[in-house]
Structure 1
Amino acid sequence: MSIDGRGVQSVEVGGRILSALVKAGKPLMLRELATMADVAPAQAHAYLVSFRKLELVEQDAASGRYQLGPFALQLGIARLRSFDPLRLAGHAIVDFAEEVGLMVTIAVWGTHGPTIVQVQEGSDQVHVNVRTGTVFSITGTATGKVFAAFMPPKVIATQLNEELRKGARIQGIGTATSRKELEAEVATARSFGYAPTEGRPVTGINAIAAPVFDYSGQMQLAITIIGPKGVLDVGPASSHTKALLAFTHKLSAQLGYAPHATDETEQEETVQVARAEAPVKRRRRA
């Protein structure tokens, strides 16, 4: 974001030093911190002395490394308390829909699964039956597959097993897929950071959906672009996909999400958990 007007250069330099500590996600020695902030070590040290007095930064006595201090934590908490993910996303998708020229939706995890809470039309009108309150299937829509890939498995396991059991008789928008197919789609979504659908659940309509995370690494909502098959390219190199990922990454960052701070080893396979909770059929002995 470009901000007009004359600022205070020393404050901006100090901001680069603090930003380097945020991006690093770990304590840094003076020289590596100065390199990341693009300042001389002596200049960085002077700023760090002031930051330590304000408790924005603290220094480990044993290693000499610098890290963010208690006041930085208080600032972060104050920011998070005043920020509502839905309000943030709701304002942001107005301009985003205009930018991409297509329908953009916000979905959250509701009682019955992925639920649309806001629909923003683009300049290119899409004739699909999507409105606030619409429930999407987990397995048959791009939005649902994002929740399957990035929500805690235990949260969605019950609803997922119900969809797979009912098959074509599910109530949400989208035709249920098989467990094997879902496993592959979930793995792909996790690899690329988004989930696509082509010509499903509505013939001639494509969609791409991506997650928005909060400071704890938990998925809060999904942003989905919906458009005609000949207009919306769902490939990873398409301009629409790149725009969506840039948009969701920005929203996540504004909610305090830092990828390096999350422990990816704690993420379990959604479908495996669903399988574990599903009824087990014992094989008959020959």
Structure 2
Amino acid sequence: MSIDGRGVQSVEVGGRILSALVRAGRPLMLRELAAMAEVAPAQAHAYLLSFRKIQLVEQDAGSGRYRLGPFALQLGIARMRSFDPLRLAGAAVVELAEETGLMVTIAVWGTHGPTIVQVQEGNDQVHVNVRAGTVYSITGTATGKIFAAFMPSKIVEAQLAEELRKGARIQSVGTPTSRKELEAEVEKAKRLGYAPTESKPVTGINALAAPVFDHSGQMQLAITLIGPTGVLDVGPDSADAKTLLAFTRRLSAELGYTPHAVEAVAEPEAAPAQAASPGRRRRSA
């Protein structure tokens, strides 16, 4: 995000040093930290001394390495307490719909499975019956598959078993398939970082769904792009896939998600694929 206006350069330099510690996800020696922050070691040392005084940073007495301090943790906790993932995503998908021209939905895991909580229309009108409160099948939709791929299996399993038992009688969008087919789709979603569907469950309509994670690495919600087959490209190298992944990666970062930090605590069930930030999408007439 670009912010116009003149700021305080020294604060911004200090921010680069703190950002380097966050990106590293481990204690750093002075020279290594200075190199990552692109400042001279002597300059970094002066900033780190001030940061130590206010407990933003602390230094290990034995190794001399620097790590984030107690005050940094307090700041993070305060941020998490005051931040609502749905409010953040709800405001952001408005811009995503405008950028892509596609319908965008936000879904959470509800009592009956993947449940839509917000629908944002795009310029390309899509004739699908989707509204807040709509429940998606796990095996028959892109949104459902992404929850199956990145939510803890113990949470998904009960609803999945019920869906497969009822088959076409389920009261949700998308015709259930099979556990075997879902397993293949889950592996694909973990590899790509998103789940695609082509002309399913609605003929002529494609979808791409990707997860948003919180600071602990838990999936909080799914963002889904929906559009006509001739407009929404679900290929792994498509501009649409890259745009969606960049968007969900940014939302996850704003919720405190850092893949290396989560991996350092415990091996996650899956990690989202990283995508290069794409440029603005140009729509054809």
**What TM-score, normalized by structure 2, do the two folds share?**
0.92
Equivalent residue for 1:57?
57
Equivalent residue for 1:273?
none
Cα offset, 1:166, TM superposition: 2.0
Where does structure 1 differ by over 6 angstroms across 4 or more consecutive aligned residues? none
Structure 1 alignment gaps of length 5 or more = 269-286
Equivalent residue for 2:279?
none
Task: Say whether residues 1:265 and 2:281 are aligned partners.
Answer: no
Equivalent residue for 1:279?
none
- The separation in 1 between residues aligned to 2:60 and 2:195, in whole angstroms, is 43
User: What secondary structure sits across from 1:220 in the alignment?
Assistant: strand
Q: Which amino acid aligns with 2:143?
A: T
Query: CA 1:222–1:27 in 2, change beyond 3 Å: closer, same or farther?
Result: same
Equivalent residue for 1:150?
150
Q: Which amino acid aligns with 2:175?
A: T
* Mapped contact 2:217–2:268 kept (Cα < 8 A): no
User: What secondary structure sits across from 1:138 in the alignment?
Assistant: coil
* Mapped contact 2:106–2:224 kept (Cα < 8 A): yes
- The separation in 1 between residues aligned to 2:128 and 2:43, in whole angstroms, is 58
User: What secondary structure sits across from 1:265 in the alignment?
Assistant: coil
Cα offset, 1:41, TM superposition: 0.7
Equivalent residue for 2:86?
86
Q: Percent identity?
A: 79
- The separation in 2 between residues aligned to 1:230 and 1:28, in whole angstroms, is 49
Structure 2 alignment gaps of length 5 or more = 271-285
For residues 46-91 of structure 1, the C-alpha deviation after alignment (integer angstroms, 9 at most, x for no partner) is: 1100000010000000111000000001111111111000000001
Alignment of 1:215-230 (within 5 A): 215-230=215-230
Cα RMSD after superposing both structures: 1.0
Equivalent residue for 2:68?
68
Cα offset, 1:27, TM superposition: 0.4
User: What secondary structure sits across from 1:262 in the alignment?
Assistant: helix
Query: CA 1:266–1:212 in 2, change beyond 3 Å: closer, same or farther?
Result: closer
Cα offset, 1:2, TM superposition: 1.3
Cα offset, 1:266, TM superposition: 4.4
For residues 218-272 of structure 1, the C-alpha deviation after alignment (integer angstroms, 9 at most, x for no partner) is: 000000000000100001111111110010000000000001112363428xxxx
Q: Which amino acid aligns with 2:74?
A: Q
Cα offset, 1:7, TM superposition: 1.1
* Mapped contact 2:106–2:116 kept (Cα < 8 A): yes
Equivalent residue for 1:280?
none
Name the larger-Rg structure.
Answer: 1
Equivalent residue for 1:235?
235
Cα offset, 1:171, TM superposition: 1.6
Alignment of 1:1-286 (within 5 A): 1-263=1-263, 265-267=267-269
Q: How many residues align?
A: 268
For residues 203-225 of structure 1, the C-alpha deviation after alignment (integer angstroms, 9 at most, x for no partner) is: 00000000000001000000000
- The separation in 1 between residues aligned to 2:150 and 2:209, in whole angstroms, is 12
- The separation in 1 between residues aligned to 2:119 and 2:70, in whole angstroms, is 40
For residues 124-157 of structure 1, the C-alpha deviation after alignment (integer angstroms, 9 at most, x for no partner) is: 1100000010000000000000000000111111
Q: Which amino acid aligns with 1:26?
A: R
**What TM-score, normalized by structure 1, do the two folds share?**
0.92
User: What secondary structure sits across from 2:267 in the alignment?
Assistant: helix
